[in-house]
Amino acid sequence: MDTLGALALATEQPTNDLMSKPPVGRSEPLITKLMWRNLIPQAIYQVTILLTLQFKGRSIFGVNESVKDTMIFNTFVLCQIFNEFNARKLEKKNIFKGIHKNKLFLAIIGITIVLQLIMVEFLKKFADTERLNWGQWAACIGIAAMSWPIGFLFKCIPVSGTQLLFKQIAT
């Protein structure tokens, strides 16, 4: 999944805005403040939801332990898939703009979804999963889809303003 995700994001064509920026120096951090702004809320959301499913999933969904574990696994993978759309454009709120131009990205996302479906529904012994019903799939997809509004909301927070705030507090 990570390999396909990295490949999907690597297929994104550079924009004019990106190409007009000066090169980044060797001493610059690998993960920028803009990336942190997008990464931290997603990580907090995913850890919170997955821990909630781990400890309360059986009672929330009324399922046995193996179905709960499959739902956790499925939700985790789907969260990564939904978040790949957020990661396409770190600064842009409209994560779908120009997506039709990147057929390879869409193909890789499609392949990842099909592989996940096969793993959950048909590779029970190999992947130690249980088949999920439509409602359980809908719950996993709904939980994972929350990555989109979370990404949108946090992209409304200006990074430069945040940096300025931190500088003012430090002085």
Q: Is the pLDDT of residue 159 over 90?
A: no
pLDDT, position 29:
72
Whether residue 117 is contained in a domain is answered as yes
Whether residue 161 is contained in a domain is answered as yes
Whether residue 20 is contained in a domain is answered as no
86 backbone dihedrals φ, ψ, rounded to 5°: -60, -40
Q: What is the pLDDT of residues 79-111, one digit of tens each?
A: 999 999 998 887 788 889 889 988 999 999 999
- The pLDDT-based confidence of 171 (bands split at 50, 70, 90) is very low
Whether residue 17 is contained in a domain is answered as no
Comparing C-alpha atoms, which of 49, 38, 40, 9 is closest to residue 151? 38
> Which structural domain range is residue 137 located in?
2-8+30-170
Q: What is the mean pLDDT of residues 127-135?
A: 95
- The pLDDT-based confidence of 162 (bands split at 50, 70, 90) is very low
Burial class (CB in 10 A: 0-12, 13-18, 19+), 59: exposed
pLDDT, position 160:
73
pTM: 0.81
Whether residue 14 is contained in a domain is answered as no
Q: How many domains does the chain have?
A: 1
Identify the residue with better confidence: 93 or 18.
93
Whether residue 15 is contained in a domain is answered as no
Whether residue 160 is contained in a domain is answered as yes
Distances (CA, A) of 63 to 56, 116, 170: 11, 20, 50
- Asked whether the beta carbons of 73 and 54 are under 8 A apart, the reply is no
Whether residue 130 is contained in a domain is answered as yes
